[in-house]
Amino acid sequence: MRIIENEREALMECPDTIDHTAGSLLDECDRAYYYFVIRGLRPVYERDYFISGKAWDRALGRLNDSTLDKADRLTQARLAIRETWAHSKCEYVHENRAPDNLIHLLDLFIENYGFDHEYEILESNIYFRFPYKDFFIGGEIDAYIDWPGLGVIADENKTTNGVISDAYLAGFFLGGYANQLKTYNWACRQITENLWGNRVNIASLAIPKRKSTQRTLFQSLLIQPPEQEILDVLELYERRMGRLRENWKLWSWPKCGTHCEGGWGFSACDYRFICKISTRLGEEEVIPQQYRVADWRPWEGQKGDWEGLSSAEKAEIEERAGGSSAYEEDSD
C-alpha cells in the first residue's frame, strides 16, 4: 500500500500545462487523470499499439533522412523498428504490430511511394509548450513540412490495425483525432506564420494474407481546419484547465469513466484494478507487480515509456513483475 500523507500539499501546486492525451483522459474520467498525471502510475508493461506506432514513426523519420543514401535509409528504417521493439516491454503483441509485419509494411510503403517527395521536412519530433491565457498547452508534433505551392503543414503519422474505412477517416475531421490535429495546427502557428494546415499519413497494419486480396494500406489526408474549429479546441482546453483546477481545489477526483472494462473500439482502463479496491485518495492498494511510477511531460519528451528507464529501474520492475515480458528480441 502506498500511503501519501497530505498529498495535495506535498505536490505543491496544480499542473499548469495540459496536452491532448491527458486532456482527453480528463474528459473521460477525473480519477483516471489523477492516476495518470498526478500519481504518475503506469502499467508495468506497455500496450503493443503504443510501441508499434512509435516504431513506425521512427522508421519513417529515418526513411526521410536526406543525409543518407537510399540503401542506408532503408537499413536504418528497418533497424529503427527492431530497436524500438527490442528496447520496449509488452506482455501481448498482436502479430500485425510485431517487427516482421512492420518491416513488411515498410517495404510495401517504399514500393508505393519510393524515397523522393516534393516537400521539405523542416523539423521532426517537435516538443512544444506554448502559453494560452493563464496556462500552457503542450505536446509533441511528429513533423512539420514545407510543401511548395501550399506552405507549412503540420505532419502526423497514424497506424491502424483495421482497414482504412470511410468511418475511420471521418474521425480526423470530427472527434478526438480531429481535436489532436487542431491542437498541433495551433501549436505550429506559434512557430510559423505560413501554416497551410495538417496532413495525416495513415498506414494499415492489416496486410492481406493473400496477394489476390485488394486493400488500401496507405492514405494521406490534407486538412485545413476552419478557424472557428481551432477556437473551439482552445475553448475545450480552457474548460479542461478549469475542471482540473476545480478538482485540485476540492481535491476531488471522481470515478466517472464510461468504458472502465473496455468495449467495442475501447481498451479497458489501465486503472480499473485500483478503482475496484481503492478507499480514499492516497491509500489505494497499488499492486507493485502491475504498476510503476513515471512522469508524463510529452512537451519535454517524457512519456513514461520503457525506453526512458535506467537499467536499474528496469531490473527492479522486472523483479517485481516476476520476470520478463512475453515478447523478447535481441537488439543485434
Q: What is the pLDDT along the chain (332 residues), one digit of tens a residue?
A: 343 445 555 566 899 999 999 999 999 999 999 999 998 888 888 889 999 999 999 999 898 887 888 899 999 999 999 999 988 888 889 999 999 999 999 999 999 888 888 888 888 889 999 999 999 999 999 999 999 999 999 999 999 999 999 999 999 998 889 999 999 999 999 999 889 999 999 999 999 987 766 689 999 999 999 999 999 999 999 999 999 999 999 989 998 878 888 877 678 898 888 888 876 776 676 666 788 888 899 999 877 666 656 666 666 656 655 544 434 443 33
Question: Biggest alpha carbon distance in the chain?
Answer: 64
Report whether 157 contacts 329 (CB < 8 A): no
What interhelical angle do 99-113 and 70-86 show, nearest 10? 150
pLDDT at 205: 95
Give the burial class of 226: count Cβ atoms within 10 A of its Cβ; 0-12 exposed, 13-18 middle, 19 or more buried.
exposed
Cα gap 84→86, rounded to integer Å: 6
What interhelical angle do 20-28 and 176-189 show, nearest 10? 140
Residue 201 pairs in a beta bridge with 157, 220
Cα gap 246→232, rounded to integer Å: 21
Q: What is the dihedral of CA 179, 184, 189, 190, to 10 degrees?
A: 120
Q: Give the ranges where 190-321 is alpha helix by DSSP (H).
A: 227-250, 272-277, 311-321
Q: From the CB of residue 232, how many other CB atoms can be counted at a distance below 10 Å? A: 13
pLDDT at 332: 33
Question: Beta-strand (E) ranges in the chain?
Answer: 17-19, 41-43, 120-132, 135-147, 151-160, 195-204, 218-223, 291-293
